[in-house]
Amino acid sequence: MMIDKVLDIAQELKQELVEVSEFILENPELGYEEFMACKAHVDLLKKHGFEVEEEYMGIKTAFKAVYDSGKPGPAIAYLSEYDALPGIGHGCGHNLLGTTNTGAGIALSKLLKDYCGKVVVYGTPAEETSGAKVEMTEKGAFDEIDIAIEVHPSDKHYMSGASLAMQAIQFTYRGRAAHAAADPEHGINALDAAINTFNNINALREHIKSSSRIHGIITEGGKAANIVPELAIAQFYVRATTKTYLEELVEKVKNCARGAAMAAGAELEISNYEASYDNLVTNKILSETYTKWLREVGVERIEGPRESFGSLDVGNVSHIVPTIHPYFGICEKETAGHTREFAQATKTPLAYDSMVKTMAAMVLTAVEVITDKDLLARIRDEFNSTRK
Ligand SMILES: [Zn+2]
Ligand SMILES: [Zn+2]
């Protein structure tokens, strides 16, 4: 039976994947510095017969690995990540995230000769900072792809949900230095402009959609209390449920800074200090297909769609290709992400068993998409209808 065959293939790959996941867990590397982790994935994919393009699109720790059946058909993408967090290592579990998505790609490749199409595993660096998927999407990395699946470890299994669109905005205010006590009337206080931007934004908060988020810091606010600050820099993340509302909100936030700069008499420069993330749009038909297979391979408890107030770079992919980003459960009890506890939870027998089942569901989903033309057509129709 198909389910047993796929589970057997996933089970056979388990030990190799465990080794890679634990190596990456013990050697955490930050975004765009994931050289060892990237190599571990590339070596494994090459060993299993994938054609690998390293330093994909000029990004040193990105790759594209392809296994083609040689017969025209759907292109299935799995997205791997392997970056860690400063100080707490793999608190987001990207060590296990990477091996589960790469593992699904390898498992599917073992079946592909019986079908058609191809499987592509993408190595996508720096999800925690300025995610590479943004640049990869802009440069057309996913244009040939029919469906994209990325699974993320969590304490419980959740269906694919949503995440917020996000812009990272920096305000640089330039004033004029002067002796703050002896000569204040000749100074232009750049810090006042930054502080008043926060005050303006706090007033704005009362009149925005409650699902939005605006949060910021001051990274530069003067050098000494007896010098009128000539330079101030503030950085904000602005988030909203849709790209359209985000653009509207960002303009209002910029006006808060413009007004504050004008009041202080400072010059204002506006820039994006990190890549902007789009909101995640889950393809519901693809998500239902995946959830069905997850139940079939023996996962009983699956929570509803996870609506995240964070932002994910896979959001950008979901505006180009029908995409799902479900979470797979690896913990006995509730465990928060971005903690040392969660990093440790990625190396338990429960986590590895969940990895195997999750990979099997990912592969069975792909096989159904490859063999059922009508299913792919319905997935595409939904994608086209949700596109703005
Ligand atoms: Zn993560
Ligand atoms: Zn994270």
Tell me what the mean pLDDT of segment 246-267 comes to: 98
* Sequential DSSP letters for 263-288: HHT-EEEEEESSPPBPPP---HHHHH
The CATH number of whichever domain residue 230 belongs to comes to: 3.30.70.360
Tell me if 91 sits within 8 A of 343, measured CB to CB. yes
| Close Cβ partners of 47 (under 8 Å, ≥ 6 residues apart) | none
Centre of ligand 1 to C-alpha 92, Å, is: 5
Mean pLDDT of the chain: 97
Centre of ligand 2 to C-alpha 128, Å, is: 6
Query: What global pTM score does this model have?
Result: 0.91
The CATH number of whichever domain residue 296 belongs to comes to: 3.40.630.10
> Domain check: are 148 and 292 in the same one?
yes
How far apart are the C-alpha atoms of 24 and 84, rounded to whole Å? 9
Tell me if 169 sits within 8 A of 336, measured CB to CB. no
> Domain check: are 154 and 31 in the same one?
yes
Centre of ligand 2 to C-alpha 231, Å, is: 32
Tokens 């990456």 belong to 24
Ligand with smallest separation from the Cα of 128: 2
Centre of ligand 1 to C-alpha 311, Å, is: 10
Please write the tens of the pLDDT for every residue from 64-91. Answer: 999 999 999 999 999 999 999 999 999 9
Examine the fold and report which residue of 272, 300, 318 is the final residue of a domain before the chain moves on: 272
Based on the structure, what is the number of domains in the chain?
Answer: 2
Determine how many CB atoms are found less than 10 A away from the CB of residue 9.
20
Examine the fold and report which residue of 235, 257, 272 is the final residue of a domain before the chain moves on: 272
Tell me if 347 sits within 8 A of 17, measured CB to CB. no
Q: Which residues make beta-bridge pairs with 75?
A: 118
Centre of ligand 2 to C-alpha 150, Å, is: 14
Tell me what the mean pLDDT of segment 179-196 comes to: 97
> Domain check: are 143 and 185 in the same one?
no
How far apart are the C-alpha atoms of 371 and 51, rounded to whole Å? 24
> Domain check: are 30 and 127 in the same one?
yes
Centre of ligand 2 to C-alpha 92, Å, is: 5
Q: Which domain range does residue 116 map to?
A: 2-163+278-386
> Domain check: are 216 and 236 in the same one?
yes
> Domain check: are 46 and 159 in the same one?
yes
pLDDT at 307: 85
pLDDT at 220: 98
> Domain check: are 85 and 192 in the same one?
no
Centre of ligand 1 to C-alpha 55, Å, is: 22
Please write the tens of the pLDDT for every residue from 338-363. Answer: 999 999 999 999 999 999 999 999 99
Centre of ligand 1 to C-alpha 385, Å, is: 28
Centre of ligand 2 to C-alpha 48, Å, is: 29
Q: Which two tokens stand for residue 78?
A: 């799995």
